[in-house]
Structure 1
Amino acid sequence: MIRIVEETGSTNADLAARLAGGEYLPEGEWLVADRQVEGKGRLGRVWNDGAGNFMGSTIVRLASADPPAQTLALMAGLAVYEALVGYLPERADLRLKWPNDLLLGGAKIAGILLEAVGDLVIVGIGVNLRVAPEVPDRRVAALSDLGVDLGRDMFAQALAVAFDLELHRWRTAGLAPLLRRWQSAAHPKGTRLTVLPPGEEAFEGSFAGLSQDGNLLLDLEDGSRRTIHAGDVLLASAPH
């Protein structure tokens, strides 16, 4: 079910408030806003508004047999990729970037924010369908830049279907197929990346794929390989 509201602060915050109030929210239910005025992305960045864009949230109820919860970021990113890619022109360059951003021609077109609430995870997704909001330290893009006119409601339906399918695959097929498909949709191995780990100086390396548990592998100039568990990741040529 997709519930649409005209305006809200944040769809993630709305779902969190409903859960805190004791309301039961089933998987597969989405809250989508026409306008979002207090939305946020990873690391506290503002990610608001944009008439005709998709801004929505859903929940995942974790079970003991599920793969590690942090890999939901990869699953959600792949779901958005699958929902978008069928609408793109043949030569469009849509790529996943660890852990859960989508880039169109190297510019961010979509982002995902996961927030844990007990044994639930709220998954917030923003996709620039019509307009790319200004983000001071990021290149951003919109689907309309390619001349594609995709209505928000049509995309919401496509995303709900893709998310449900990827969630089922995540639970039943294990991580290995997810990681293979994620890497095939990501920028190529060898792509130069800049990583800003929490509390550390930024450094660069070459994308070397994902570890067996979904962490980022980076080859450094000294020949060593580093596993990245958290941090902001940019294409090395991107402003930061």
Structure 2
Amino acid sequence: MGFELGTLARDAGYDLLAFDTVGSTNAEALARARVGVAGPVWVVTRHQTAGRGRRGRAWETPEGNLAASLLVSVEADRPLAATLGFVAGLALNQAIRTVAPNIAVAVGVDGLDEPRGPKLTLKWPNDVLADGAKVAGILLEVDALADGRLAVVIGLGINVAAAPDGLPYAATCLKRLGSDATAEQLFTALADAWVGFHAIWDEGRGLSEIRRLWLAQAAGLGAPVAVRLGNDILRGTFETLDEDGRLIVLTADGARRTIAAGEVHFGAAATAALQ
């Protein structure tokens, strides 16, 4: 089975470029934006050899995992365009639940559905966690188009069949969590889920609803947080997101700090991390 768009994505006019192996799906998408391709187009692969995560870190995509990048064009400024990362997180969380329902839900002894298995959460700004272990990461890159719009590439790397070892944080994959879903199945579900959440976002007009949906699935809300800001570390409690999607940290002295970017650790990890 190869990669295929879902019905919703096809009907909405999305295109698809699929590779058996590629250096970076984000790089492929950006290259097309720079020669005038406005999208929306997905670039996907089972095996990425030169992927990258946030802050230039490498992101491994061995055979069987999924690397997917979506190129879209928006009439928005860069801060608003960056909130598409929240859209992607919501879509990815829904896609995982669709193809791997055994991870989150099972039939109880009384015949009713009841929660079971890892809890899927969204970690600010752009990760998906399963019981606190990273199962996916999202990287946004933005370029200006000649017509004044922005080309936004939303890259998603999902641990489907394998997870890297030796990282400074816990990582897992769908296979370890008991799912036999394939990268191809996950992509089809993701492409369709994106259409729904992108419609809610509505060129940024629906950001408040995206924020509400995202906070309902947020990791670490109300828990201790540590944020590296250059050479400094800010500690406090993850209180909420502001209306622009920035992290609000309540410090011990009662002050509220607004964070647009930073290396973040939540919960118990915040007390030991970033030493």
When residues 182 and 140 of structure 1 are mapped into structure 2, their CA distance, relative to the original with a 3 A threshold, is: same
The amino acid across from 2:212 in the alignment is R
What residue in structure 2 maps to residue 71 of structure 1?
83
**Structure 1 SS opposite 2:232:** coil
Aligned: 1:103 with 2:160 = no
Aligned: 1:112 with 2:125 = no
Aligned: 1:9 with 2:23 = yes
When residues 23 and 65 of structure 1 are mapped into structure 2, their CA distance, relative to the original with a 3 A threshold, is: closer
What residue in structure 1 maps to residue 184 of structure 2?
153
Q: Deviations over 1:113-162 (max 9, x none)?
A: 00001111111000111111235322111111221111111110000011
Aligned: 1:189 with 2:221 = yes
Do the aligned residues in 2 keep the contact of 1:67 with 1:171 (CA within 8 Å)?
Answer: no
* TM superposition shift of 1:65: 9.7
When residues 164 and 67 of structure 1 are mapped into structure 2, their CA distance, relative to the original with a 3 A threshold, is: farther
- Which residues of 2 match residues 133-212 of structure 1 at below 5 A? 133-134=164-165, 136-171=167-202, 174-197=206-229, 199-212=230-243
Q: TM-score, normalised by structure 2?
A: 0.80
* TM superposition shift of 1:204: 2.0
The amino acid across from 2:226 in the alignment is T
CA distance in 2, matches of 1:227, 1:64: 22
Deviates most, 163-172 or 57-66: 57-66
List runs of 5+ in structure 1 lacking aligned partners. none
Do the aligned residues in 1 keep the contact of 2:42 with 2:70 (CA within 8 Å)?
Answer: yes
Runs of 4+ in 1 over 4 A off after TM superposition: 64-67
The amino acid across from 1:182 in the alignment is W
List runs of 5+ in structure 2 lacking aligned partners. 1-14, 106-115, 145-149
**Structure 1 SS opposite 2:104:** coil
- Which residues of 2 match residues 47-66 of structure 1 at below 5 A? 47-64=59-76
- Count of residue pairs the alignment pairs up: 237
Q: Deviations over 1:61-107 (max 9, x none)?
A: 11259991121111111111111123223222111011111111111
**Structure 2 SS opposite 1:140:** coil
Larger Rg: 2
When residues 82 and 148 of structure 1 are mapped into structure 2, their CA distance, relative to the original with a 3 A threshold, is: same
The amino acid across from 2:125 in the alignment is P
Do the aligned residues in 2 keep the contact of 1:67 with 1:175 (CA within 8 Å)?
Answer: no
The amino acid across from 2:176 in the alignment is D
CA distance in 2, matches of 1:181, 1:14: 31
CA distance in 2, matches of 1:66, 1:178: 17
What residue in structure 2 maps to residue 18 of structure 1?
32
**Structure 2 SS opposite 1:122:** strand
When residues 107 and 26 of structure 1 are mapped into structure 2, their CA distance, relative to the original with a 3 A threshold, is: same
Deviates most, 147-156 or 221-230: 221-230
Do the aligned residues in 2 keep the contact of 1:216 with 1:227 (CA within 8 Å)?
Answer: yes
When residues 135 and 60 of structure 1 are mapped into structure 2, their CA distance, relative to the original with a 3 A threshold, is: farther
Aligned: 1:226 with 2:240 = no
Do the aligned residues in 1 keep the contact of 2:104 with 2:120 (CA within 8 Å)?
Answer: no
CA distance in 2, matches of 1:65, 1:232: 23
**Structure 2 SS opposite 1:38:** coil
**Structure 2 SS opposite 1:68:** helix
